[in-house]
Structure 1
């Protein structure tokens, strides 16, 4: 293989690594982080519902503070805390009893955990592809594994 074709192969691998693989990895991690945030919200809601069920009798009202946005809170009085509106997805909310909400949250968190696991596996596959391309670059440039490679904008 000539020096010019070897250099073009190196540039091709580096381009694939920077433009495709690293971009794919960033998208996967971003999606996974969104699912983690959603999972955290549902787990927080589950804890809140369980606390409401423990502390209140059905006839009592609930006094709480509600965040209107930008950490601006107002007091709210809920006359009947036996039901709750839950975000079920795509901007829809459903009025549920506390027990129905807990059952929904259990199913929803299970689905979110499966998605997170799948995205983590996908991220692992992309990382493996990145390592493979890096090793190919190392071999193309005749760099030994012990020395630190000098790739152009590959490692960030």
Structure 2
């Protein structure tokens, strides 16, 4: 009987390690990735608002501050602000003029793609959470714990 208890305790430790070392780490990676995508969406919307402000101002020149790195800013004078460079990824930049239609089209395309990606990441995080719950339920059964009595549970709605 003691040998069986030792095997159960060993299995419980293995499952707990699996939850903590694999599933929770994977969940954190997916959630960090999703947060990164939301940050990109935020940056793109900020860019859109900045370009709209430039367009509404109608001025070709612009005074701004540029981050050289490590939060070290310098003042910059842009002689022609009618054309922009937008980072499109992998070290490539798009150089073009901008208009209201341009902003709306690119915002729609970019946000649509990123929002689909965030949906996928949200589904992945839900799957990982379900796996964690499944393993925890298995551990509960393996250790012989019973469900909470009905009197200690309450309705949420």
Give the number of equivalent residue pairs: 145
Q: Helix, strand or coil for the counterpart of 2:110?
A: helix
Over residues 96-137 of structure 1, what are the superposed CA-to-partner deviations in whole Å (9 max), with x where a residue is unaligned? 211345533331122111111110110011011111111111
1:20 equivalent in structure 2: 22
Checking the alignment, whether the CA contact within 8 Å between 1:13 and 1:137 is kept in structure 2 is: yes
1:61 equivalent in structure 2: 61
Whether 1:78 and 2:78 are equivalent positions in the alignment is: yes
Q: Helix, strand or coil for the counterpart of 1:7?
A: helix
**Greater Cα shift, 16-25 or 93-102:** 93-102
- TM norm structure 1: 0.82
Cα distance in 2 between the residues matched to 1:84 and 1:109? 19
2:134 equivalent in structure 1: 132
Checking the alignment, whether the CA contact within 8 Å between 1:84 and 1:101 is kept in structure 2 is: no
Cα distance in 2 between the residues matched to 1:131 and 1:21? 10
Checking the alignment, whether the CA contact within 8 Å between 1:24 and 1:126 is kept in structure 2 is: yes
How far has the Cα of 1:48 moved from its partner? 0.5
Checking the alignment, whether the CA contact within 8 Å between 1:49 and 1:102 is kept in structure 2 is: no
Over residues 64-116 of structure 1, what are the superposed CA-to-partner deviations in whole Å (9 max), with x where a residue is unaligned? 22222233322222222111000000111110211345533331122111111
Q: Helix, strand or coil for the counterpart of 2:86?
A: strand
Identify unmatched segments of 5+ residues in structure 1.
148-156
Cα distance in 1 between the residues matched to 2:127 and 2:14? 21
2:93 equivalent in structure 1: 93
Please list every run of at least 4 consecutive aligned residues from structure 1 whose deviation after the TM superposition is greater than 4 angstroms.
none
Checking the alignment, whether the CA contact within 8 Å between 1:86 and 1:101 is kept in structure 2 is: no
1:110 equivalent in structure 2: 112
User: Going by fraction, where is helix more abundant, 1 or 2?
Assistant: 2
**Change beyond 3 A, Cα 1:15–1:73:** closer
Please provide the CA RMSD for this pair: 2.1
Cα distance in 2 between the residues matched to 1:102 and 1:82? 17
